[in-house]
Amino acid sequence: MKTAISCGTLIINARGEILLCHVTGTNHWDIPKGLLDAGESTLVAAQRELFEETGLTFDTNEFEELGRFAYRPNKQLHLYKVMAPMDLDDLDHLVCTSHFPHHVTGKPTPEMDDFRWATREDARILCWPRMAERLLSLPW
């Protein structure tokens, strides 16, 4: 079985909080991340997913590679970290442009429908247990 690679970015503010995105239709929050496309580098995939799920862009040199981590038996996470600029405190301008068909209406629905800054304790409670465990094992 081929192992999938999901590439994501931890956006960290000056207070040491992480940017989380609310996963539409669930009770969970997640970091901006998604599957690596064929021929894409992990950095390009992380940048693309960050833009699609939040509208954020950063210079390539702002991305610090954290590495590849076990996530599920058939999926690994390749993560990067970016320190948020001071003017990113307000998240009202963030928007998810990546959509899926709604399971009832079939209408295009954004993958992420809200954004927040979260402490380590918030992440422990808000994220899926596997993601919370991974995030809490990393320095941020």
pTM above 0.85, yes or no: yes
Predicted pLDDT at 105: 84
At residue 111, the pLDDT reads 94
Percentage of the chain lying above the pLDDT 70 cut? 100
Q: For 45-104, how does the pLDDT look when each residue is reduced to its tens digit (9 = 90+)?
A: 999 999 999 999 999 999 999 999 999 999 999 999 999 999 999 999 999 999 988 878
User: H/E element holding 11?
Assistant: strand 4-12
Q: Given a cut of 80, is residue 33 above it in pLDDT?
A: yes
Q: Where are the domains of the chain?
A: 4-136
Q: Is the pLDDT of residue 1 over 80?
A: no
DSSP 80-132: EEEEPPGGGS--TT-----EEE-TTT--EEESEEEEEEE-HHHHHHHB-HHHH
The pLDDT value recorded for residue 101 is 86
How much is the pLDDT for 110? 94
pLDDT for the residue 104: 81
DSSP classification of residue 24: T
Instruction: Select from 2.60.410.10, 3.40.1790.10, 3.90.79.10, 3.40.50.300 the CATH code of 4-136.
Output: 3.90.79.10
The helix/strand count (H/E) of the chain reads as 3, 9
